[in-house]
């Protein structure tokens, strides 16, 4: 999708002042860059350990899970919907993969990689199933995405609890955690590599494939999309399935990291991922949203939490700060979208 | 009679990036119909929305009966007797007709401040009756057709005593009969000394109704002229700043193979059509009253309305179950009547809107399955040139474009693929004369290159001037098929009722 | 093998915060005289801790031959739901109630109304501040926090070299969290331990993992990670991945199967065990005794032992944890 | 708002068959009546104690809190928004009133009723404040209601935790609980009476006041409302304020019931109240919603939970059942709205 320019292109041919530049950045990237700079400066002043390579890698690795889920959420939002069940998907994929690996490890104690692969596939399969149900409910039965995914969240959580009896599934192969949880390849943690891989795929999919463009069209105006020969229902369903798959990957990575399949994983993911998307300028009305900005948004949330933890800001205040930041980000985004789309 | 009701001096209004009004003067006499004429985006709607209190005033002075006023809200303007029918509907779709007719001016019990439900209900019925509008006041507005909604809208503007009535393109979705009803109402109000501001893109209406015309261009006041003595050409020249020789081009008829053939079409709200054809190299008009099913018939053929039975043949081949995708792939393009509702992705760029239905096609779609953004840019730039959209508009959100330009974007979308049959449903709704002419020339070009064109329109002159053959529909059936040689206003109208 | 007699502590006077603890051997009734119907309410059944209580409750109900319905409110924010569930169960014929309370004060009125209906109410695990209770079967989380703190404090008596402790008590606002926090703080007072400000956070694994990593990042001097079982569970991997095995040690203030396994493996140093299974068992026995009018010990709890690698073998696992194969049961017929 | 008659009124003048009747009930009341009947029958069969006066009163008393919050939520939904902060409002009003009463009780130990009154006013004041901020954010700054109230939820929760230092506030006057928590007047529990009072007020407000009409109009089409001379912003703000006040009342009643001011009250209220509204046929797109149906929806949720508790259905299964019911209700509501509004 080509990027959009505002109506009164600043006639900056002759003199591109600093203000113009700021405006340009703001219109293209939103407030995120500014908030990031402010946050980084503030936290560096508050804690000398904030701006260390060590901590930054730490921060990125922590953010991987939210970034991934936010990417999935972004697909649902662009399509004009919501996915409140991402947290449940994380939990279900974690639980299913862990149970599968546990069972298989007994039968094939030597073929660790086979066990891991099959376990991951089972987890992803379960995630996909939830995504398909979500998508079918929204696209075929016309249930509002809010309710559909809220219902699925409840259903999935019940099932995950049932499967594990409430107790985390442990005794997973150590290799899983060693590689996908804490492994390092070429100096970069494996979870970050996985995230980069998925980011690259998603970037191509969204910007260089017909499917991506169709997704934007469906979210922007489903009727127009239909009249333009786009098969709206398959696009919608695949958006939810893809969202679920990405959330599932996040669930698998979390399983690897915590070395357990846990029905309580991902409890706050749904709202946090929506917050990350919205801070990143994704419209809740569909059709608008850029991958780069969402990644920034998710990392921003992680960064603020990390910074506040390092600066040893009390937990109560942290909760308040996050709420305030969310609102501020959206107020500015309103201003920006008014300029760009007159919405 | 020459009582100055409303006078405006030097009114200016800026939106971020646009100067919508630039020192506009305006004067309205009691008992006068004063038309405002101008291109899309000239500032007509902005002007009247300020007068009606819907937008805050920029600089400038508004006087009513000589007294300087500043309206803070629509309710405020209403208290001064100014009432408007806006271009965008001001109806709440989930409320009933009756509730809408009283909206914002509910009647309350003196003592408890509660609603007087029965009095309001009586008032609403009386209002509809007085205007001769046949609408059940209990119906939910969302279930009304666009024309019926327009009638409710008009009734709503007339619900209280008023001294200034503003009508912003009130006939855009009405056909002859409803329009006539409206004109009668306007004349009777005029008789009572009400001043009427009337915005329209249809010059015939100006001729029939208006006393004076104020012409706007790019937010500037160009002049006030007498409606009776000013020629059409002069008006258009003032509006466009150049002369437009001929609005309607003459299109060479060169009918060839049958492209579309519909038979035994049943479905929807009583569609019952036995035979309908369109051939390459001709323009087929489809006329009829509002709600006669002229859109629905072809929407069924295009696969967007459910079809009970019927055979859709394209190029001799039967299309089993038409869907928009299949029809497009078979070379049919449908231009919807409501560009915001069904046509545009408002938040996406102009270029993205143009290329929308070509993303699965060469050259944009590589064989590898990926898109070539540079090919896309080339394609959209060329099309932009063909339909005359300024290159600087290509990366802008279509929400920012004027109505006429938005319509051109939709036309552009039809040029990205090889199309055998164009179905244009109300292609010029709310489009100014200049752009409209451009659209007509585009239709000419397409037709003369050998495409079949179906023109569905409520604008009778458009049908009369452009089509080589016309179907007139009445209550879901084809009432007549008229050849160019017999295509006159009288001939068509006679089959309407 | 029977679980009883079990080494327990009776508090006297009963229901007093400051009461003295007297070691006793607890023995339950051999059998109920009648198939009573009990209602058991938990804050949630989403982790192994409450599963353990469930196990104790269910097993004891089966052993005594009474029926029980186990309810869970879905989380610590659902006080209202817990009240409703208990009311529903009593309306459905429950004759005695065992409550693992969400809030110490929020259930006082409910207990009062239960007393008015002559329904015996037993407080299990969490503690309710009501004089109308029939009995309490619990060890306070204050004590659990204190035990954990004391374990560390013993290693670093006043005057020895300083050691920094990162302390993760759990979600802000939960009763058990604030209690444990207080106990821990008091136990480490006067030692040479330097405890960072409490780092609150949900007991979700991803949340705790993040908190632990950030804490290690913010203060490299950390020697001990102390906190909830979830904190301890996620810390094992983090400590290993950062190669801090020899430097940082992990302690939990309550026991779960994974913490138990961690102690076995040596990745977790220690954890006080409150024997939640036994607490559940005693609560059921107390409820049945109350229904049958037998004498009962009003305020009792199993003796807390802090488990570490040294004494692991001496503890019967089924007393302190649910067996691995146990699935939650919501009903004993 | 008058009820809506579908266009194709079954021509039932001569013969009003059972099918027509069912259709009529369905179109007017939604699936709720049918689900209620099914639920009542099922649960009566499963537990003999379900259909006893005792249990029914019990059920109604328990439902009061959710009914009230759902009523507030309904206002936000009709206005075309959301209120995800109702749970926080419940908590804040509880905490503030409890703290105020606690402080005042020390100064005026004898004037119990004065203390209670002032405490309640303080609680409602705090609720109102949150409502005003929500309303201002939505109406004046144009922040999407989802985000605005999500942010406020976080902020309010942080503040409530801060105020109580995380420990529930107890030592409230006993009178509070005795009267508003468990009191009975004329054989009816006081909370139920309070609910009925508020219901009556709301009914008049929604159906017989200009404000009610305007609220529906604003939710249905804000631009149209503006052009009809309705002052949209005040209407929106007052909707959020009223929503907050009603949630605040619920918070006060809960405080009375639990005899403590607790920052953790109301945690699941936001989603449950939205579910109740949606099951009761309120549209998430604004403009549609009837008070009676929402009350039914909230009671239905309470009833299902109550019935499942009585029927001794395990909690995990309960979670799943609630999710499934939510989705079913909405699928049918879609069908109904299609018939009514051709949406
Ligand atoms: N709310 C707004 N924000 C920004 N620009 C606006 C707004 N409303 C109108 N404009 C711009 O002001 C100019 C005048 O618009 P206006 O709607 O008054 O034109 P018009 O003469 O009524 O056109 P049409 O014939 O298409 O109805 C246009 O360039 C339009 O894009
Ligand atoms: N959204 C709608 N709600 C209710 N009735 C509708 C709706 N759309 C169309 N109709 C009805 O369907 C019938 C055929 O509609 P159709 O759009 O084909 O009419 P049309 O002749 O094209 O009129 P128009 O000039 O308004 O486009 C009419 O009776 C019309 O009232
Ligand atoms: Mg206009
Ligand atoms: Mg039409």
Residue A2: predicted pLDDT: 59
Q: How many CB atoms lie within 10 A of CB D340?
A: 20
**In sequence order, what are the residues at sequence separation of 6 or more whose Cβ sits closer than 8 angstroms to the Cβ of residue D67?**
D195, D199, D276, D295, D298, D299
Is B139's C-beta closer than 6 angstroms to any atom of ligand 2? no
Residues of A within 8 A of C215 (CB-CB) are 309
**pLDDT-based confidence at B105, cuts 50/70/90?**
confident
- Phi then psi for residue D182, to 5 deg, are -125, 5
The neighbours of chain B, by the rule of 3 or more Cβ pairs under 8 Å, are A, D
Is B13's C-beta closer than 6 angstroms to any atom of ligand 2? no
When CB atoms are compared, the residue of A207, A227, A343 closest to B342 is A227
More confident residue, B67 or C281: C281
Q: Which tens digits make up the pLDDT trace of D155-185?
A: 999 899 888 877 778 878 888 888 888 888 8
Nearest CA in chain B to A227: B324
CA distance D157 to B285: 64
Q: Is C88's CB within 8 Å of D310's CB? A: yes
Residue A14, pLDDT above cutoff 80:
no
- Among A233, A248, A265, A148, smallest CA distance to A194 is for A248
ipTM for the predicted complex comes to 0.85
When CB atoms are compared, the residue of A224, A226, A288 closest to B344 is A224
CB A103 within 8 A of CB A172: no
Q: Whose CA is nearest to atom 30 of ligand 2?
A: B291
Is B291's C-beta closer than 6 angstroms to any atom of ligand 2? yes
CB B447 within 8 A of CB B251: yes
Q: In D259-314, which ranges are continuous DSSP H helix?
A: 269-279, 291-310
Ligand 2 centroid from CA B295, angstroms: 7
Q: Is A155's CB within 8 Å of D275's CB? A: no
Residue A226, pLDDT above cutoff 80:
yes
Within chain B, all domains assigned CATH 3.40.50.300 are found at 4-245, 257-494
- Considering every ligand atom, which ligand is closest to the CA of B51? 1
CA distance B47 to B214: 12
Q: How many CB atoms lie within 10 A of CB B297?
A: 30
Q: Is A142's CB within 8 Å of D334's CB? A: yes
**pLDDT-based confidence at C306, cuts 50/70/90?**
very high
Q: Which of B20, B87, B428 to mutate to test the pocket of ligand 1 (most atoms within 8 A of CB)?
A: B20
Q: Whose CA is nearest to atom 12 of ligand 1?
A: B20
Nearest CA in chain C to A166: C46
Residue D11: predicted pLDDT: 44
| Top-ranked range on mean pLDDT: pick from A46-60, C38-52, D78-92, D312-326 | D78-92
Q: Whose CA is nearest to atom 16 of ligand 1?
A: B43
Q: Which residues line ligand 1 (CB under 6 A)?
A: A 342; B 15, 18, 20, 38, 40-46, 87, 402-403, 430, 432
CB D85 within 8 A of CB D149: yes
Residue B244: predicted pLDDT: 67
Cα angle, residue B331 at apex, residues B325 and B333 outer, rounded to 5°: 70
B121-135 core/surface letters (b: 16 or more CB in 10 A; e: else) = bebbbebbeebebeb
Class of the CATH-defined domain A49-338: mainly alpha
CA of B293, closest atom in ligand 2 = 18
Q: Whose CA is nearest to atom 5 of ligand 2?
A: B145
Ligand 2 centroid from CA B174, angstroms: 12
Number of residues in chain B: 497
Residue A136: predicted pLDDT: 95
Is C76 in the A-facing interface, judged by CB distances under 8 Å? no
| Top-ranked range on mean pLDDT: pick from A84-98, A323-337, B211-225 | A84-98
Is C74 in the A-facing interface, judged by CB distances under 8 Å? no
pTM as predicted: 0.87
Q: Which tens digits make up the pLDDT trace of D212-264?
A: 999 999 999 898 898 888 889 999 999 999 999 999 999 999 998 888 888 88
**In sequence order, what are the residues at sequence separation of 6 or more whose Cβ sits closer than 8 angstroms to the Cβ of residue D202?**
D71, D246, D291
Is B423's C-beta closer than 6 angstroms to any atom of ligand 2? no
Q: Is A213's CB within 8 Å of B356's CB? A: yes
**In sequence order, what are the residues at sequence separation of 6 or more whose Cβ sits closer than 8 angstroms to the Cβ of residue B183?**
B208, B209
Which of helix, strand or coil describes residue D267?
coil
CB C96 within 8 A of CB C120: yes
Cα angle, residue B365 at apex, residues B362 and B369 outer, rounded to 5°: 135
When CB atoms are compared, the residue of B90, B95, B139 closest to D227 is B90
Which DSSP string corresponds to A95-162?
Answer: HHHHHHHHHHHHH-SS-HHHHHHHHHHHHHHHHHHHHHHHHHHHHTS---HHHHHHHHHHHHHHHHHH
Q: Is the dihedral of CA C241, C247, C253, C257 positive or negative?
A: positive
Could you tell me which residues of chain A have a Cβ less than 8 Å from any Cβ in chain C? 47, 49, 54-55, 58, 62, 65, 161, 165-168, 170, 177, 181-182, 254, 257-260, 262-268, 305-306, 309-312, 314-316
Is B257-494 in CATH node 2.40.50.840? no
A189-215 core/surface letters (b: 16 or more CB in 10 A; e: else) = bbbbbbbeebbeebbebbbbbbbbbbb
CA of B142, closest atom in ligand 2 = 3
Q: Is A327's CB within 8 Å of D143's CB? A: yes
Is B135's C-beta closer than 6 angstroms to any atom of ligand 2? no
Structure letter (DSSP) for residue D29: H
Element (H, E) at B85: strand B82-85
Residues of D within 8 A of C74 (CB-CB) are 268, 315, 319
CA distance A1 to chain B (A): 7
Q: How many CB atoms lie within 10 A of CB C96?
A: 26
C308-325 core/surface letters (b: 16 or more CB in 10 A; e: else) = eeeeeeebeebbbbbeee
Q: Which tens digits make up the pLDDT trace of C6-31?
A: 889 998 888 887 788 899 999 999 99
Is B338's C-beta closer than 6 angstroms to any atom of ligand 2? no
- Among C315, C290, C242, C293, smallest CA distance to C122 is for C290
When CB atoms are compared, the residue of A170, A266, A315 closest to C258 is A170
Is B179's C-beta closer than 6 angstroms to any atom of ligand 2? no
Q: Is D268's CB within 8 Å of C77's CB? A: yes
Ligand 2 centroid from CA B145, angstroms: 5
Residue D2: predicted pLDDT: 46
CA distance D77 to D71: 10
Q: Is B108's CB within 8 Å of D210's CB? A: yes
- Phi then psi for residue A286, to 5 deg, are 90, 160
Q: How many CB atoms lie within 10 A of CB D110?
A: 8
Is C132 in the D-facing interface, judged by CB distances under 8 Å? no
Residues of C within 8 A of A306 (CB-CB) are 210, 214, 217
For chain B, percent of residues with pLDDT exceeding 90? 18
Nearest CA in chain A to D331: A143
Q: C-alpha distances in angstroms, A116 versus A88, B101, B126, B186, C191?
A: 21, 67, 76, 79, 46
Homologous superfamily of domain range B4-245: P-loop containing nucleotide triphosphate hydrolases (3.40.50.300)
CA distance B475 to D107: 81
- Considering every ligand atom, which ligand is closest to the CA of D342? 2
Residues paired with B470 in a beta bridge: B285, B482
**In sequence order, what are the residues at sequence separation of 6 or more whose Cβ sits closer than 8 angstroms to the Cβ of residue B98?**
B120, B121, B124, B125, B137, B138, D2
Which of helix, strand or coil describes residue A83?
coil
Residues of B within 8 A of A283 (CB-CB) are 347
Nearest CA in chain A to D133: A327
Which of helix, strand or coil describes residue C193?
strand
Structure token digits, residue C3: 């679980």
Structure token digits, residue C139: 């060890």
Nearest CA in chain B to A282: B347
More confident residue, D155 or C102: D155
Residue A10: predicted pLDDT: 43
Residue D12, pLDDT above cutoff 50:
no
CA distance C87 to chain D (A): 7
Cβ-Cβ pairs closer than 8 A, A with C, add up to: 106
D233 CB burial (10 A radius; 0-12, 13-18, 19+) = middle
Q: Which tens digits make up the pLDDT trace of D271-295?
A: 889 989 988 888 888 888 899 999 9
Is C69 in the D-facing interface, judged by CB distances under 8 Å? yes
Residues of A within 8 A of D157 (CB-CB) are 319
- Phi then psi for residue A305, to 5 deg, are -65, -45
CA distance C174 to C303: 24
Which DSSP string corresponds to D141-202?
Answer: S---HHHHHHHHHHHHHHHHHHHHTTSPB----HHHIIIIIT-EETTEEHHHHHHHHHHHHH
3-state helix, strand, coil in chain A (%, to 5): 75, 0, 25
Q: Which tens digits make up the pLDDT trace of B173-231?
A: 776 777 888 888 888 888 888 899 999 888 888 888 899 999 998 888 888 998 888 88
């Amino acid at each position: 999708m080509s990027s959009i320019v505002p109506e009164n292109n600043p006639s900056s041919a002759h003199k591109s002042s600093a203000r113009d530049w700021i405006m340009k950045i703001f219109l293209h990237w939103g407030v995120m860059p500014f908030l990031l700079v402010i946050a980084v400066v503030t936290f560096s002043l508050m804690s000398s350990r904030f701006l260390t390579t060590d901590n930054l890698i730490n921060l990125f690795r922590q953010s991987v899970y939210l970034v991934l889920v936010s990417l999935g959420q972004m697909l649902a939002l662009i399509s004009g919907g919501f996915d409140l069940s991402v947290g449940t998907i994380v939990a279900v994929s974690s639980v299913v993969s862990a149970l599968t690996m546990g069972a298989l490890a007994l039968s094939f104690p030597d073929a660790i990689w086979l066990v891991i692969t099959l376990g991951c596939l089972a987890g992803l399969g379960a995630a996909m199933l939830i995504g398909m149900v979500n998508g079918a409910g929204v696209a075929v039965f016309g249930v509002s995405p809010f309710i559909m995914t809220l219902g699925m969240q409840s259903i999935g959580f019940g099932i995950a609890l049932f499967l594990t009896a409430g107790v985390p599934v442990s005794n997973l192969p150590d290799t899983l955690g060693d590689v996908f949880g804490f492994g390092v390849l070429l100096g970069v943690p494996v979870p970050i590599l996985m995230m980069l891989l998925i980011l690259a795929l998603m970037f191509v999919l969204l910007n260089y494939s017909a499917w991506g463009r169709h997704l934007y069209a469906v979210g922007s105006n489903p009727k127009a999309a239909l009249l333009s020969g786009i098969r709206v229902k398959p696009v919608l369903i695949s958006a939810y399935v893809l969202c679920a798959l990405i959330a599932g990957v996040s669930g698998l990575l979390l399983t690897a990291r915590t070395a357990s399949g846990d029905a309580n994983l991902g409890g706050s993911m749904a709202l946090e991922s929506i917050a990350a998307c919205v801070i990143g300028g994704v419209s809740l009305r569909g059709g608008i949203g850029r991958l780069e900005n969402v990644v920034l948004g998710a990392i921003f949330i992680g960064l603020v939490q990390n910074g506040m933890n390092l600066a040893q800001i009390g937990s109560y205040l942290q909760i308040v700060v996050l709420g305030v930041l969310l609102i501020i980000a959206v107020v500015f985004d309103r201003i920006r979208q008014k300029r760009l789309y007159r919405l | 009679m020459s009582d100055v009701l409303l006078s405006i001096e030097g009114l200016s209004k800026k939106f971020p990036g646009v100067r919508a009004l630039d020192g506009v003067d305006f004067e309205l006499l009691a008992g006068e119909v004063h038309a405002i004429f101008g291109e899309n985006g000239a500032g007509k709607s902005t002007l009247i929305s300020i007068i009606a209190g819907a937008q805050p005033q920029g600089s400038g002075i508004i006087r009513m009966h000589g007294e300087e006023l500043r309206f803070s809200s629509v309710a405020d303007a209403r208290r001064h007797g100014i009432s408007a029918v806006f271009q965008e509907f001001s109806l709440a779709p989930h409320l009933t007709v009756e509730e809408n007719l009283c909206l914002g001016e509910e009647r309350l019990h003196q003592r408890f401040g509660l609603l007087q439900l029965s009095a309001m209900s009586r008032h609403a019925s009386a209002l509809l009756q007085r205007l001769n509008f046949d609408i059940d006041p209990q119906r939910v507005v969302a279930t009304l057709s666009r024309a019926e909604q327009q009638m409710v809208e008009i009734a709503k503007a007339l619900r209280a005593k008023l001294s200034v009535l503003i009508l912003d393109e009130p006939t855009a979705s009405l056909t002859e009969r409803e329009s006539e009803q409206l004109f009668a109402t306007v004349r009777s109000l005029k008789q009572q000394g009400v001043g009427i501001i009337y915005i329209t893109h249809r010059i015939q209406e100006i001729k029939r109704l208006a006393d004076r015309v104020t012409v706007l261009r790019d937010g500037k006041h160009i002049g006030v002229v007498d409606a009776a003595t000013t020629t059409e050409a002069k008006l258009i020249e003032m509006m466009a700043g150049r002369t437009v020789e001929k609005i309607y081009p003459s299109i060479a008829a060169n009918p060839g193979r049958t492209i579309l053939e519909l038979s035994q079409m049943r479905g929807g709200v009583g569609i019952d059509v036995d035979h309908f054809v369109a051939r390459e190299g001709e323009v087929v008009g489809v006329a009829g009253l509002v709600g006669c099913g002229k859109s629905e018939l072809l929407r069924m053929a295009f696969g967007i309305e459910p079809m009970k039975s019927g055979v859709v043949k394209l190029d001799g081949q039967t299309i089993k179950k038409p869907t928009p995708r299949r029809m497009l792939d078979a070379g049919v393009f449908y231009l919807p009547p409501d560009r915001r509702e069904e046509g545009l992705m408002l938040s996406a760029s102009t270029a993205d809107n143009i290329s929308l239905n070509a993303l699965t096609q060469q050259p944009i779609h590589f064989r590898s399955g990926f898109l070539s953004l540079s090919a896309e840019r080339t394609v959209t730039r060329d099309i932009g040139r063909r339909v005359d959209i300024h290159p600087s508009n290509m990366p802008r959100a279509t929400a920012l474009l004027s109505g006429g330009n938005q319509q051109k974007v939709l036309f552009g979308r039809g040029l990205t693929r090889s199309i055998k049959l164009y179905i244009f449903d109300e292609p010029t709704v709310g489009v100014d004369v200049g752009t409209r002419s451009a659209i007509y020339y585009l239709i000419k070009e397409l037709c003369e290159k050998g495409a079949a064109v179906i023109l569905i329109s409520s604008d009778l002159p458009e049908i009369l001037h452009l089509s080589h053959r016309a179907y007139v529909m009445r209550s879901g059936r084809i009432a007549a098929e008229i050849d160019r040689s017999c295509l006159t206003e009288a001939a068509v109208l006679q089959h309407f009722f | 093998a029977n679980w009883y007699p079990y080494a327990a502590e009776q508090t006297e006077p009963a229901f007093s915060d400051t009461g003295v603890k007297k070691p006793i051997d607890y023995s339950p009734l051999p059998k109920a005289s009648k198939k009573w119907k009990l209602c058991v309410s938990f804050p949630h059944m989403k982790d192994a801790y409450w599963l353990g209580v469930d196990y104790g409750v269910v097993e004891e109900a089966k052993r005594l031959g009474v029926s029980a319905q186990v309810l869970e409110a879905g989380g610590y924010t659902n006080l209202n739901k817990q009240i409703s569930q208990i009311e529903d169960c009593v309306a459905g014929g429950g004759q005695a109630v065992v409550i693992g309370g969400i809030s110490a004060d929020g259930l006082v009125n409910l207990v009062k109304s239960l007393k008015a209906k002559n329904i015996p109410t037993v407080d299990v695990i969490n503690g309710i501040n009501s004089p109308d209770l029939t009995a309490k079967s619990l060890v306070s989380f204050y004590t659990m926090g204190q035990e954990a703190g004391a374990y560390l404090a013993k290693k670093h008596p006043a005057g020895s070299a300083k050691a920094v402790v990162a302390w993760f008590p759990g979600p802000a606002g939960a009763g058990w969290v604030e209690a444990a926090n207080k106990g821990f703080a008091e136990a480490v007072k006067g030692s040479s331990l330097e405890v960072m400000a409490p780092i609150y956070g949900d007991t979700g694994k991803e949340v705790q993992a993040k908190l632990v990593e950030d804490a290690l990042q913010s203060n490299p001097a950390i020697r001990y990670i102390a906190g909830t079982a979830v904190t301890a569970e996620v810390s094992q991997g983090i400590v290993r991945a950062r190669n801090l095995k020899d430097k940082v040690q992990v302690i939990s203030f309550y026991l779960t199967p994974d913490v138990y396994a961690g102690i076995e493996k040596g990745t977790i140093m220690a954890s006080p065990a409150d024997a939640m299974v036994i607490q559940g068992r005693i609560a059921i026995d107390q409820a049945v005794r109350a229904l049958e009018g037998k004498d009962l010990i009003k305020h009792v709890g199993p003796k807390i032992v802090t488990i570490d690698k040294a004494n692991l073998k001496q503890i019967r696992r089924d007393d302190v944890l649910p067996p691995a194969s146990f699935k939650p049961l919501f009903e004993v017929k």
